Amino acid sequence: MLNPKSYLEFLTMIHRRTILAGLAALSLSPVLASAASLPDLGGKTVVVVTENAYPPLQFVDPKTGQAVGWEYDAMNEIAKRLNFKVEYQNTSWDAMIQAVSDGQYDLGMTGITIKDDRKEKVDFSDPYMRSQQLMLVRGDESRFTDAKSFAALESGLIAAQPGTSPFYTAVYEILDGNEANPRIKLFETFGATVQALKAGDVDLVLTDSTAGNGYVAASNGTLKIVGEPLGTEDFGFIFKKGSDLVGPVNAAIAALKADGTLDALNKKWFLDYKMGE
């Protein structure tokens, strides 16, 4: 059994390898976009919407009250390289995809998994991050150790946001395929699911490795990851169908991969930054 400090160090090492390996795979592209070759958007304003509830991608820093995170840093750098001004706004996850589809916002970012059904409503950028879904539980959890043993624990409850990848993974990969299964408790934000877990109101939260390892690292041993990863997913920014921003943003993402900027952001937000400290 690893002690808490060693366990967190182990998680950090595994997470770093997962993120860097995923981004390395995404970076295998013949296109190496330089800053000089990127489109110039002429200082136009681009309205970017997010939820601010998905650390460490985007959240409100409890120390400063400021909205920060991996996606903010990446978007600000993209805006700089493409010469546009960013206007940030917030909305709930439930409303985001439809709102972007309707043209209320120019771009959405909140760790959105690239999925074919979502492509029917919005256009996606190229992937900027690859992650895996993990089982986040309380640090003293001993009743189950993986998806199979959790499913067998009839009293076990899962917290999830409706319509998200963790929700569908809970339904179809852990439980019985019933989307109305009473063992799934629905919450409006990802942060609320984690709070419910900490409070003992539920027993499991499914999360991608970006958020899950961020919470574990900041929990002082009160949270941990159990079981094997349940799947791999790519994250992308979303746009209204036919948006002329997709091409320039893709070019900027390629440039950030090629020059190591994304690797630097991974180190900053997944290794160096500790939420709440």
For 149-178, write each residue's pLDDT tens digit.
999 999 999 999 998 889 999 999 999 999
pLDDT at 53: 87
Matching CATH number, 31-128+236-272, of 1.50.10.20, 3.40.190.10, 1.10.150.20, 3.90.870.20: 3.40.190.10
pLDDT at 26 over 80: no
Where does CATH 3.40.190.10 sit in the chain?
A: 31-128+236-272, 131-232
Q: Is 90 helix (H, G, I), strand (E, B) or coil?
A: strand
pLDDT at 5 over 70: no
* Assigned fold of 131-232: D-Maltodextrin-Binding Protein; domain 2 (3.40.190)
The per-residue DSSP string of 110-140 comes to: SS-B--HHHHTTEEEPPPSEEEEEEEEEETT
Instruction: Give the mean pLDDT of 85-90.
Output: 98
Predicted TM-score (pTM) of this structure? 0.69
With the CA atoms of 237, 243, 248 and 254 taken in that order, what torsion angle do they form, in degrees rounded to the nearest 10?
40
**Averaged pLDDT of the chain:** 86
